[in-house]
Amino acid sequence: MFYFVLKSLFPVLVRHSPLHLFNYTTVRAACALFFAFGFSLVFGPACLRWLASLRMGQQVRNFRTSETQQFNIHPEKAGTTTMGGILIVASTLSAVILFCDPASSYVWAVAAVMLVTGALGFVDDLLKVRRQNHKGVSAIHKLAVQIAVGVGLGAFLVWTGPYTTYAHKTITSNTHLLIPFFKNLYPDLGLFFIAWVAFVLCATSNAVNLTDGLDGLAIGATIVVCLPYMVIAYLVSRFDYAAFLLVPHVPQARELSVFLAAILGAGMGFLWFNAHPAQVFMGDTGSLSLGAVVGSIAILCKHEMLLVLIGGIFVIEALSVVVQVAYFKRTGKRFFLMSPLHNHFLKKGMKEQKIIARFLIIAVLLALVGLSSLKLR
């Protein structure tokens, strides 16, 4: 933002000084990444001490195996400082405020999504700590807030958001879906597009939340997902690249690439403290907000359906829970030893570090497949 303020106040000075380099999206994206990373490293220790002084310790759930027996799969993690998502949100939004164009409504829309879902996660984490158990905000209330945020974003796109242009077709709308691998298939959802946005936002937010169970897994997978979407955001913001790839042209997505760069920097900074053995957990403050932001940016870039591939690790984790619940209700038995899927491998005796490494390898491969599919139509 500082560049655009200076540019409006002193246009001649900015034009004839090194400051004009900030006119380039790639420069501002790089600055946002390094600033958010540095912010996390500088303020991270103080944030951890503050959370520890408030006794924000992780509550670890006990699972029942019978009427009289219980087990705890992460006993060593009990009491670890949680709610570290505050650091992620603060680092990201600080970089966004400094380096994004304040005239972009897309930036403000995504920032609002991050703040509201981050606040929801904060309340959830706070209740868990105060009650000294794993029960925070009820599932129905949590889902209601997520749906409300999704409906708000969908309504923004339908009625007030800037239109998306399909460069190779005579379509100017925000309610059409881009179907991967098809060149001329753009179903128009009309007002049902609002429900679609709410579904995607809820799905991604909760999928990241379910993945957040091992040190560095959720934030590592988020970093992997943000990288290809940063490329996609830049490509669709350019009419020439969008026309070549036969994808929608979304001019305002240019600033979303800077937003994603800020998330990358904040994520890497948080991973500095969250790597095994973790000094801090992101909690729902981080997982709910990160998932919602990733889903929102995918929607705004008109590539939300690619999340099934690019965010495949989140999809796998969420599906493992769905399969487990459905199979148990039908048969009374468990399909996995425990869900989400990473807990299944823990129960089988696999070391946590190995599970994290293998899951992230799969996440990288899926992200590369998703990114390389852009031209396959």
359-377 pLDDT, tens digit per residue, is 999 999 999 999 988 888 7
Is it the case that residue 327 has pLDDT exceeding 70?
yes
User: What is the arithmetic mean of pLDDT over 235-257?
Assistant: 88
Which of 336, 282, 277 shows the shortest CA–CA distance to 63?
336
User: What is the arithmetic mean of pLDDT over 148-172?
Assistant: 79
Least confident of 5-9, 33-37, 143-147, 256-260: 5-9
Residue 52 confidence (pLDDT) = 83
User: What is the arithmetic mean of pLDDT over 299-307?
Assistant: 93
Q: How confident is residue 301, by pLDDT bands cut at 50, 70 and 90?
A: very high
Measure the CA–CA gap between 340 and 337, rounded to whole angstroms: 10
Is it the case that residue 268 has pLDDT exceeding 60?
yes
Residue 24 confidence (pLDDT) = 81
85: tokens are 């998502």
pTM listed for this prediction: 0.90
Which of 289, 322, 302, 192 shows the shortest CA–CA distance to 247?
302
The tally of domains found in the chain comes to 1
Q: How confident is residue 175, by pLDDT bands cut at 50, 70 and 90?
A: confident
Residue 4 confidence (pLDDT) = 62
Measure the CA–CA gap between 354 and 372, rounded to whole angstroms: 27
Determine the angle formed by the axes of helices 192-211 and 283-300, rounding to 10 degrees.
Answer: 140
CA 57 vs. chain centroid, Å, equals: 24
Is it the case that residue 310 has pLDDT exceeding 80?
yes
Contact 294, 225 (CB under 8 A): yes
3 state SS of 172: strand
Q: Which residues contact 347 (CB under 8 A, 6 or more apart)?
A: 73, 337, 338
User: What is the arithmetic mean of pLDDT over 280-305?
Assistant: 93
Long-range residue pairs from 123-127, CB within 8 A, at least 24 positions apart, any chain: 124/283, 124/284, 124/285, 124/288, 125/56, 125/82, 125/83, 125/85, 125/283, 125/284, 125/285, 126/83
Q: Looking at per-residue confidence, does 346 or 134 come out higher?
A: 346
Give tens-digit pLDDT for 87-132.
Answer: 999 999 999 999 988 888 999 999 999 999 999 999 998 888 887 7
Measure the CA–CA gap between 50 and 56, rounded to whole angstroms: 9
Its domain, for residue 288, covers: 2-375
Residue 198 confidence (pLDDT) = 96
Which of 204, 212, 203 shows the shortest CA–CA distance to 359?
212
Residue 70 confidence (pLDDT) = 44
Measure the CA–CA gap between 374 and 204, rounded to whole angstroms: 21
List C-alpha distances in Å: 121 to 80, 291, 292: 17, 11, 11
Residue 66 confidence (pLDDT) = 43
Is it the case that residue 6 has pLDDT exceeding 60?
no
Residue 354 confidence (pLDDT) = 93
Q: How confident is residue 167, by pLDDT bands cut at 50, 70 and 90?
A: low
Least confident of 1-5, 44-48, 79-83, 129-133: 1-5
Question: Could you tell me the sign of the dihedral formed by the alpha carbons of 203, 86, 54, 77, in that order?
Answer: positive
Share of the chain above pLDDT 70, in %: 85
Give tens-digit pLDDT for 181-239.
Answer: 887 778 888 889 999 999 999 999 999 999 988 889 999 999 999 999 999 999 999 88
List C-alpha distances in Å: 74 to 3, 80, 227, 233, 279: 47, 11, 30, 38, 15
Is it the case that residue 77 has pLDDT exceeding 80?
no
Residue 69 confidence (pLDDT) = 44
Is it the case that residue 322 has pLDDT exceeding 60?
yes
Q: Looking at per-residue confidence, does 82 or 196 come out higher?
A: 196
Q: How confident is residue 318, by pLDDT bands cut at 50, 70 and 90?
A: very high
Residue 170 confidence (pLDDT) = 59
